[in-house]
């Protein structure tokens, strides 16, 4: 059943929007201090994420990590956990509410309740020039979830085992020694590194298009707390056509860790959120 628009429908539609979470009161990261400390940082490790697979990496608080495109356009799905407590993990929904649908330099990856603190801050994005294109698309979204074998089964039937969800599950299980079923419960909605996405204007559907990333591009972060990360090189490759299959050209991704000689000036690791948790009782 559909409904007839009321007489004042246009007036109701014309009401201007109000930003849900104004961030003027949000403590701002001191990017100049982060960049200054980064200048003398030395590389302490790296991992290469194989195409259609995932790998874990650890970054102590106060260090930096960089995700690079090295061989060809490739999208990465990033999960983050507190290295000492996996119940604290990246919360893409609240990150989106605070920073918008796509992240770039100065944006932070926030953890879920009851912690709600910045886990990592983006300090450099070589795709920051892209902005929002004519389709309403931008890069590095926090709106997609991660490609997964359940949705694939639902929409296409059949089994595909190299979706980002499964890649992240295997990598987390290998890193922690947890059985696969337990590891799976720790995998969460991602930051879609290098992915170019938006919502169609006519139907509001989530769409993707070929990533503008090229070899030499990177996204770099400062670790605010001790982190365990997992990155999947999505089977969608540059996500120009399809994912959840072996059809797309896929490339590796490089993760490098850097340690500065001293932490950024004035920086201290953020504490967990100070709300009392009494919930009115
Ligand atoms: Zn994927």
| Structure confidence at residue 82 (pLDDT) | 98
Distance 163 CA to ligand 1 centre (A): 5
- The pair of three-digit structure tokens given for residue 124, joined into one six-digit string: 């450099």
Question: Hey, CA dihedral for 158, 161, 163, 169, is it positive or negative?
Answer: positive
| Structure confidence at residue 157 (pLDDT) | 92
207 vs 21, 147, 210, CA distance in Å?
Answer: 25, 13, 11
User: How does DSSP classify residue 51?
Assistant: B
Q: How far apart are CA 112 and CA 87, in angstroms?
A: 9
Helix segments in the chain, DSSP class H = 9-13, 31-38, 92-99, 149-156, 164-176, 180-184
Distance 241 CA to ligand 1 centre (A): 12
Q: How far apart are CA 273 and CA 278, in angstroms?
A: 13
Helix segments in 136-270, DSSP class H = 149-156, 164-176, 180-184
Which positions of the chain have pLDDT values less than 50?
none
Distance 230 CA to ligand 1 centre (A): 13
Distance 243 CA to ligand 1 centre (A): 6
| Structure confidence at residue 242 (pLDDT) | 81
| Structure confidence at residue 179 (pLDDT) | 98
| Structure confidence at residue 246 (pLDDT) | 84
- Please count the other Cβ atoms lying within 10 Å of the Cβ belonging to residue 7: 7
Distance 19 CA to ligand 1 centre (A): 30
87's CB contacts (< 8 A; 6+ apart) are none
C-alpha 81 chain-centroid distance: 12
Across the strands, what pairs with 54? 232
Q: How far apart are CA 48 and CA 20, in angstroms?
A: 39
| Structure confidence at residue 208 (pLDDT) | 95
C-alpha 20 chain-centroid distance: 21
Pairing of strands 108-110, 118-125: antiparallel
| Structure confidence at residue 243 (pLDDT) | 78
| Structure confidence at residue 137 (pLDDT) | 97
Burial of 230 (0-12, 13-18, 19+ CB in 10 A): buried
**Closest of 249, 248, 242 to residue 156, by C-alpha:** 242
| Structure confidence at residue 245 (pLDDT) | 79
Distance 43 CA to ligand 1 centre (A): 28
pLDDT tens-place string over residues 232-272: 999 999 999 887 778 889 999 999 999 999 999 999 999 99
Helix segments in 73-228, DSSP class H = 92-99, 149-156, 164-176, 180-184
Distance 31 CA to ligand 1 centre (A): 30
| Structure confidence at residue 197 (pLDDT) | 97
């Amino acid at each position: 059943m559909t409904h007839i628009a009321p007489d004042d429908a246009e007036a109701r539609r014309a009401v201007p929007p109000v930003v849900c979470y104004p961030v003027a009161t949000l403590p701002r990261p001191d990017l100049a201090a982060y960049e200054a400390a980064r200048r003398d940082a030395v590389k302490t490790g790296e991992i290469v994420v194989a195409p259609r697979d995932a790998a874990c990496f650890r970054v102590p608080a106060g260090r930096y990590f960089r995700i690079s495109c090295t061989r060809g356009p490739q999208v990465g799905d990033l999960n983050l956990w507190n290295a000492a407590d996996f119940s604290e993990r990246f919360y893409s929904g609240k990150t989106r509410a605070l920073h918008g649908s796509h992240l770039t330099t100065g944006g932070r990856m926030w953890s879920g309740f009851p912690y709600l603190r910045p886990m990592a801050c983006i300090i450099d994005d070589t795709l920051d020039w892209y902005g929002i294109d004519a389709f309403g698309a931008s890069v590095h979204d926090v709106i997609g979830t991660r490609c997964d074998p359940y949705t694939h089964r639902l929409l296409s039937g059949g089994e595909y085992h190299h979706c980002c969800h499964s890649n992240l599950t295997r990598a987390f299980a290998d890193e922690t020694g947890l059985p696969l079923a337990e590891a799976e419960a720790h995998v969460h909605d991602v930051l879609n590194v290098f992915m170019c996405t938006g919502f169609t204007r006519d139907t509001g559907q989530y769409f993707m298009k070929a990533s503008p990333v090229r070899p030499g591009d990177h996204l770099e972060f400062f670790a605010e707390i001790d982190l365990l990360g997992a990155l999947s090189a999505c089977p969608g490759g540059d996500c120009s056509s399809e994912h959840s299959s072996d059809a797309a050209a896929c490339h590796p991704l490089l993760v490098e860790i850097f340690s500065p000689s001293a932490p950024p000036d004035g920086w201290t690791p953020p504490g967990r959120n100070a709300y009392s948790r009494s919930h009115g009782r």
